[in-house]
Structure 1
């Protein structure tokens, strides 16, 4: 019997300034995925911090991509601070966690895969947004 390896659960974590348009988020996503040779079809879901629950650009992007968009509280994200490649004091002052994109990506990948996650694309900054990609086997 051959062992079938399942593809890793890949998720994108996003952070953005208020009013950031979906087009900006999409440009960042496309650029990051292309640079790291990851297909959009491989992405299972998007994640952010619950403070962005009503951010129209994020909601619109998830709808365009037909992907679930899940949110985490700053308390849920704070425990990932040791795994972040970039810790922002400004982000901490505003949100209670040191990095929204990386923390959210790690949190969602672990939640979906029920396994430890790691960052596959560290924090990418573009205009008004940040993005990170995490995966869990």
Structure 2
């Protein structure tokens, strides 16, 4: 086994208001990674809710970072409610889940690694966007 396979799977979940500029999303990502001393190269992919599939800022951020951007339905995200650090009634009214960023990060990390995920960075809010980072630890079994 190489050292790379032992690295945890890191996935970023993003939520944003319509029309949120890519600069806001990038600033939030950079700020969160810097605060937790995580390198951008360690991020495997980005995720959000499927109703943001046509959100230009999210698409542009994924292109800038050359990372895949995955989307999950509100039904898929709702299952992560017990793991969320923050429950937003406004998010639930608008999307059907209590936290897009955290739920999307957890869903993506689990999908990428086929292992349970936990929040490494809980919901961070900045201007019109939210971000969370989930990880799964490498399990050699």
Give the secondary-structure state (helix, strand or coil) at the position aligned to 1:67.
coil
In the alignment, what sits opposite 2:53? 53
Give the secondary-structure state (helix, strand or coil) at the position aligned to 1:47.
strand
In the alignment, what sits opposite 2:14? 14
In the alignment, what sits opposite 1:118? 118
Question: How far 1:3 sits from its partner (Å)?
Answer: 9.0
Distance in 2 (CA, whole Å) between partners of 1:73 and 1:41 is 27
Runs of 4 or more consecutive aligned structure 1 residues displaced over 4 Å after TM superposition: 2-5
TM-score under structure 1 length normalisation? 0.97
Distance in 1 (CA, whole Å) between partners of 2:2 and 2:69 is 32
Distance in 1 (CA, whole Å) between partners of 2:26 and 2:7 is 23
Distance in 1 (CA, whole Å) between partners of 2:112 and 2:6 is 13
Matched, 1:101 2:108: no
In the alignment, what sits opposite 1:87? 87
In the alignment, what sits opposite 1:42? 42
Q: Which consecutive unaligned segments of at least 5 residues does structure 2 have? A: none
In the alignment, what sits opposite 2:63? 63
Distance in 2 (CA, whole Å) between partners of 1:13 and 1:19 is 17
Question: What are the superposed Cα offsets for residues 10-46 of structure 1, whole Å, 9 maximum, x if unpaired?
Answer: 0100000000011100000000000000000000000
Work out the number of aligned pairs and report it: 136
Question: How far 1:127 sits from its partner (Å)?
Answer: 0.1
Distance in 2 (CA, whole Å) between partners of 1:84 and 1:40 is 23
Give the secondary-structure state (helix, strand or coil) at the position aligned to 2:41.
helix
Distance in 2 (CA, whole Å) between partners of 1:65 and 1:3 is 25
Q: Which consecutive unaligned segments of at least 5 residues does structure 1 have? A: none
